[in-house]
Amino acid sequence: MEYDIIFISPEYFDHPLCGVAILKRLLEKKGYCVAVIETKKEEDVKKFGKPNLFFGVTSGSIDSMLRNNSALNREREKDNVIHFKRTVPDRAVIVYSNWVRRYFKDSPIVIGGTESTLRRFTHYDYWSNSLRKSILFDSRADILVYGNGEKQALEIANRLKNKKSLDGIEGTCIKRRSAPKDFIMLPSHEEVSDSKEKFCDMQNLFSNSENLSQKTGEFYVLQYKYPEYTSKDLDEYYEMPFTRVIKDHPEMKGFEFSVVIHRGCIGSCNFCSLRWTSGDRIISRSEESILRELKYITTLPHFKGNIDDFGGPSANMYGMDCPLEYTCKNKCLECKKLDRSNRRLIDLLRKARQIKGIKKIFVRSGIRYDLVSDEYLKDLVKYHISGKLKIAPEHISKAVLRLMNKDYGDLDDFIKRFKALKCGELDFYFMTGHPGSSMKEAEELRKYIKGLKNAEKVQIFTPTPMTVSTCMYYTRMDPKTKKPIYIPYTYSEKKLQKRILYK
């Protein structure tokens, strides 16, 4: 059998939480013949031969370096505590792409997913402690898809089918010998390699909503601005008839019957890559579509009555869409017009609870506590948690929170509001080792969490490509002001900052 498109990925399950599954379903819906190789070794890429149109390559839902290595740059597989088994090679997108290129020299390669998205331009690589060029160079790919890729994949397939150029496709990056004059020019790879101030300038220019260009040697990496995704688009994607069978993927246990109700996050935390992978504006699905999906789930033979999770990056951002989404440049969290009532979400949940066959709808993905109305909080703790509600304050030092861009809301006030409901407990997530965090701030955090229950979940900050916090870590300065920032740089200090929290 001949295939138009063959995806190479370390993970695949027919579920809307799997990006390749959405792309496969959508492309098939539009008439393309699609195969997926859940690759384990080099020979796997030859399984279906050469596709008529292209190979699509991804490392899965997470950057392979982050998957395989800890914040202290230790291989997770050598950690006897977590029992991690390495199934994906380091720098998987590069490895898989070069496997394909070895056997199918002239076949177009399209790379995408989190790993490609965050490595589209020159980036600081924590695991090698060096700057690396755009992943387009080492992967030898023809085109890179960043963010969610449904529209891009369809357009690439249509262009190749009709033997047209891949230039100008929104939401993609390509490598060319020249750059259009109207593109915003980032500092070149050579400039940011020589100057940390130039690296900060590059960081300040990053945007999904602009056409960008970066010179690297004799080439230019061109980014075409992100396409406009709408509620109607999301309704189509998530209502496709996924089987939701995930028996070969134990890591998905507890998320089999999750429902995605929106994309994007308006938090724009400096340590988080969501603004680059999912966007910094909210796109909510329609209420009608979500209710139809819930009714479809109740018809599946392996459904037992519980919706495992109901949300998005932050569950309570549903309905916080901006009518000027693709033109407004303001920060949503600082906008007086932002609807903080949670009204749309409250109404949606009340209707969802009435669907026959659904026993319980859980919200397990966590909420943004500074965007919770009293009415929503009451419904949430009464109907949608299993004893604990997850929140992620990350830190309590005002200076560190400001550098995290998470200095919103009043944690003490929220804790009081929650306790007043006398229903369940809070589950806290904190972070140490972030830029700006010295032993003084770590001690401040220790004293605070000592009086909390369920505050044991503390992670060490891990620099990941393209984030503002990673720019701070690498340059040791605030990219906006160029003022110096204290960085807990050594592994010994990072370990000590975490260790003292448990005294």
Q: Which pLDDT tens digit goes with each residue over 353-392?
A: 999 999 999 998 889 999 999 999 999 999 999 888 999 9
Structure tokens that stand for 212 in this block: 């960008």
* Least confident among 113-122, 177-186, 450-459: 450-459
Same domain membership, residue 210 and residue 61: yes
The stretch 301-327 carries a mean pLDDT of: 89
Share of the chain above pLDDT 70, in %: 99
Residue type, 440: K
> For residue 326, what pLDDT is reported?
66
Buried b (16+ CB within 10 A) or exposed e, 10-41: bbbbbbbbbbbbbbbbbbeeeebebbbbbbee
Same domain membership, residue 254 and residue 200: no
Domain count, the chain: 3
Same domain membership, residue 158 and residue 263: no
Domain annotation covers residue 331: yes
Same domain membership, residue 279 and residue 209: no
303: which residues sit within 8 A by CB, 6+ positions away?
257, 297, 357
Domain annotation covers residue 18: yes
> For residue 262, what pLDDT is reported?
97
Q: State residue 19 phi and psi, 5-degree precision.
A: -60, -40
DSSP state of 313: S
Q: Which of 223, 248, 268 marks a domain boundary?
A: 223
Domain annotation covers residue 345: yes
Same domain membership, residue 206 and residue 266: no
Q: What is the CATH number of the domain that holds 94?
A: 3.40.50.2300
Domain annotation covers residue 326: yes
Place of tokens 């960085």: 487
CA atoms within 13 A on the CB side of 374: 5
Same domain membership, residue 271 and residue 197: no
The stretch 132-137 carries a mean pLDDT of: 98
Integer Cα distance of 314 and 283 in angstroms: 12
Domain of residue 170, residue span:
5-223
Q: Which of 223, 249, 281 marks a domain boundary?
A: 223
Residue scoring higher pLDDT (137 or 327): 137
Same domain membership, residue 293 and residue 210: no
Same domain membership, residue 307 and residue 237: yes
185 Ramachandran zone, left/alpha/beta (phi>0; psi -120 to 50): beta
Same domain membership, residue 407 and residue 351: no
Same domain membership, residue 236 and residue 183: no
Domain annotation covers residue 382: no
Q: Which of 175, 191, 223 marks a domain boundary?
A: 223
Q: Confidence class of residue 455 from pLDDT cuts 50, 70 and 90?
A: confident
Is pLDDT above 80 for 328? Answer: no
Is pLDDT above 80 for 250? Answer: no
> For residue 323, what pLDDT is reported?
80
> For residue 365, what pLDDT is reported?
80
Integer Cα distance of 223 and 229 in angstroms: 17
Do 9 and 36 meet the contact criterion of CB atoms below 8 Å apart? yes
* Secondary structure (H, E, C), 204-246: HHCCCCCCEEEEECCEEEEECCCCCCCHHHHHHHHCCCCCCCC
Q: What is the CATH number of the domain that holds 297?
A: 3.30.750.210
Is pLDDT above 60 for 214? Answer: yes
The stretch 331-344 carries a mean pLDDT of: 90
The stretch 386-407 carries a mean pLDDT of: 94
**Long-range contacts of the stretch 274-279 (C-beta < 8 A, 24+):** 274/313, 275/208, 276/117, 276/118, 276/146, 276/147, 276/206, 276/208, 276/466, 277/114, 277/117, 277/118, 277/146, 277/147, 277/148, 278/147, 278/148, 278/313, 279/147, 279/148, 279/208, 279/226, 279/229
Is pLDDT above 60 for 81? Answer: no
Domain annotation covers residue 418: yes
Same domain membership, residue 252 and residue 301: yes
> For residue 82, what pLDDT is reported?
67
Same domain membership, residue 449 and residue 319: no
User: Each residue of 406-428: pLDDT tens digit?
Assistant: 999 999 999 999 999 988 899 99
Domain annotation covers residue 381: no
* Least confident among 6-15, 77-86, 265-274, 400-409: 77-86
Place of tokens 């560190």: 400
Residue scoring higher pLDDT (82 or 463): 463
Is pLDDT above 80 for 324? Answer: no
> For residue 313, what pLDDT is reported?
87
> For residue 325, what pLDDT is reported?
66
> For residue 333, what pLDDT is reported?
87
Buried b (16+ CB within 10 A) or exposed e, 398-425: ebbbebbbbeebebeebbeebeeeeebe
The stretch 91-112 carries a mean pLDDT of: 97
Domain annotation covers residue 245: yes
> For residue 191, what pLDDT is reported?
98
Mean pLDDT of the chain: 94
Q: What is the CATH number of the domain that holds 404?
A: 3.30.750.200
